[in-house]
């Protein structure tokens, strides 16, 4: 695999040409994209982790926004929400994008809880969690603790309002929403033999229409499966 490098860029540093490139990259994997909506969503973020190849071409990106939410008991929890995230098909398998993300945020968990707020439209995004973390939620083999559920709901409500279905932990969009193109992350009989993918399919059967499963993981270094590789 070609060597890829990632860096964090604040939103103010993004040129219009780069934003167009990011949108075109999203269109390669998603149907129902709308450029005006994409730009509005991007401008509401703090910045992006930008993935480039050895020739300087854009190979992927992930937008993000730091977020503090208030729980029903009045306590507050802080973390980072990942927005649009995509890696070009020829570069998938690289961990450079997440290494950039981890190096920026894992140190923030040294002094207390600091969360990764993630929504999963497809099984490939969901599979990041068991691949990189020791604990994450929701998951097939452990019930989600009540406080974790409360944090998930707090950030889902803050960002998406009442389209969050607390009974399923899924964002069910009323209006037309971007969704994965056929062939990008299809779930077939072979994929269903993986228990995490089978669980994701059962938990979020509306993924084909663009529904998102609301997920949460602690960004503490102790929760990473391989902190030396990601942070070294």
> Each residue of 51-82: pLDDT tens digit?
999 899 999 999 999 999 999 999 999 999 99
* Unique residue bearing structure tokens 């926004």: 65
Is 77 in contact with 69 (CB distance < 8 Å)?
A: yes
Task: Note the pLDDT of residue 211.
Answer: 95
Is 70 in contact with 120 (CB distance < 8 Å)?
A: no
Higher pLDDT, 175 or 83: 83
CATH number at residue 98: 3.40.630.30
Residue 97's domain comprises 5-231
Is 21 in contact with 58 (CB distance < 8 Å)?
A: yes
**Distance separating alpha carbons of residues 106 and 100, to the nearest angstrom:** 10
Q: Residue 184, CB half-sphere, CA atoms under 13 Å: how many?
A: 21
**Distance separating alpha carbons of residues 50 and 70, to the nearest angstrom:** 30
Interval 158-164 mean pLDDT: 95
Task: Note the pLDDT of residue 80.
Answer: 98
* Unique residue bearing structure tokens 């889902």: 156
Residue 174 binned pLDDT confidence (cut-offs 50, 70, 90): confident
**Distance separating alpha carbons of residues 87 and 153, to the nearest angstrom:** 28
Provide the pairing of β-strand 115-120 with 76-87: parallel
Is residue 30 classed as helix, strand or coil in its secondary structure? strand
3 pLDDT exceeds 90? no
Nearest to 213 by CA among 145, 175, 141, 160: 160
Task: Note the pLDDT of residue 111.
Answer: 83
Higher pLDDT, 93 or 188: 188
Residue 93 binned pLDDT confidence (cut-offs 50, 70, 90): confident
pTM of the model: 0.93
Task: Note the pLDDT of residue 176.
Answer: 66
Task: Note the pLDDT of residue 7.
Answer: 96
Q: Which residues contact 142 (CB under 8 A, 6 or more apart)?
A: none
163 pLDDT exceeds 60? yes
1 pLDDT exceeds 60? no
Residue 137 neighbours by CB distance under 10 Å: 20
94 pLDDT exceeds 90? no
88: its two tokens: 């070009």
Structural domains counted in the chain: 1
> Each residue of 96-113: pLDDT tens digit?
999 999 999 999 999 889
**What does residue 70 show for φ and ψ, rounded to 5 degrees?**
-110, 125
Q: 10 has which bridge partners?
A: 47
């Amino acid at each position: 695999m070609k060597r890829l490098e990632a860096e964090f860029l604040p939103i103010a540093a993004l040129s219009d040409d780069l934003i167009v490139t990011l949108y075109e990259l999203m269109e390669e994997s998603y149907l129902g994209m709308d450029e005006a909506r994409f730009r509005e969503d991007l401008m509401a973020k703090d910045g992006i982790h930008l993935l480039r190849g050895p020739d300087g071409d854009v190979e992927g990106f992930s937008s993000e926004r730091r977020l503090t939410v208030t729980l029903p008991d009045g306590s507050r929890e802080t973390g980072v929400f990942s927005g649009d995230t995509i890696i070009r098909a020829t570069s998938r398998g690289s961990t450079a994008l997440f290494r950039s993300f981890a190096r920026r945020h894992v140190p923030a968990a040294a002094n207390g809880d600091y969360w990764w707020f993630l929504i999963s439209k497809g099984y490939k995004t969901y599979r990041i969690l068991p691949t990189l973390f020791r604990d994450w939620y929701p998951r097939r083999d452990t019930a989600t603790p009540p406080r974790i559920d409360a944090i998930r709901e707090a950030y889902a409500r803050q960002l998406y309002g009442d389209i969050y279905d607390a009974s399923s932990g899924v964002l069910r969009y009323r209006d037309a929403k971007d969704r994965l193109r056929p062939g990008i992350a299809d779930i077939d009989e072979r994929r269903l033999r993986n228990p995490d993918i089978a669980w994701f399919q059962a938990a979020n059967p509306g993924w084909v229409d663009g529904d998102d499963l609301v997920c949460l993981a602690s960004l503490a270094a102790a929760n990473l499966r391989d902190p030396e590789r990601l942070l070294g």
